[in-house]
Amino acid sequence: MTQPDTPTDEARGAASARADERTKDLIRRLRALHTALLADVLDKLGHRSTFLGWEIGQITEGRTLVGTALPLQAATVERSDDAPYRLLLEAYREMVEDDVVVIASPDRASGVWGELLGVAALARRCGGAVVDGLVRDVDQVRELGLPVYGRGASPLDSAGRQEIVAVGEPVEIGGVEIRRGDLIFGDTMGVIAIPHELAETAVERAEEKLAAESTVRDELARGDDPSLVFDRYGIL
């Protein structure tokens, strides 16, 4: 009986490189789109759980967020710890270019992201951060230029209040499951998560819808009946 070929390290490396290039291409194309457009096409694809919630907005105003999810789960603690940031710092060893740090945090008092974490992320060409919680050092974070989204600001340190308990495992924010490698996209309307297996199809359809919306916009601007325009294109 013939044994199936086992992929060589070289073949695995080539496949990984191709996957990385596809992801980079999707990230580049996403920058020309917006959250409402992507949410619409994901709805049509049967994936309606995309929006992380209105509570999570731009800490760094005007900065679009695009990249692949690196999920971190935080938990509330009530103790001092000799190594309070251990798993948070270990996450930087897993971080690759275009990663978006996604922190699910139950704490609504202390900030789990701040300036120095942003500096280290920027040095690794990280895509940004989404915090289902609060952010410290807001003025300094804004000066860095790294896109950061969160619920708001706090001067309180997370040490002794919350800590990261899992890195790279799925997290849930606003009823949306976010897994390692899912695409994260944020703009002035909020943040959505795109499952990696739907990403290529979603981007292609969003680009098609964007082009069609341009035609619809032109016809509405010249005074065409909105009902007839909607009948022609199914877009409004």
pLDDT at 4: 46
SS3 readout for 4-52: CCCCCHHHHHHHHHHHHHHHHHHHHHHCCCCHHHHHHHHHHCCCCCCEC
- pLDDT band for position 226 (cuts 50, 70, 90): confident
- d(C-alpha 39, C-alpha 42), whole Å: 5
Q: How does pLDDT run across 9-47, given as a tens digit for each residue? A: 564 455 455 568 999 999 999 999 999 999 999 999 999
Q: How does pLDDT run across 40-70, given as a tens digit for each residue? A: 999 999 999 999 999 999 999 999 999 999 9
Q: What percent of the chain stands above pLDDT 70? A: 90
- 84-89: average pLDDT: 86
Q: How does pLDDT run across 106-157, given as a tens digit for each residue? A: 999 999 999 999 999 999 999 999 999 999 999 999 999 999 999 999 999 9
Q: Is 49-194 a CATH 3.30.950.10 domain?
A: no
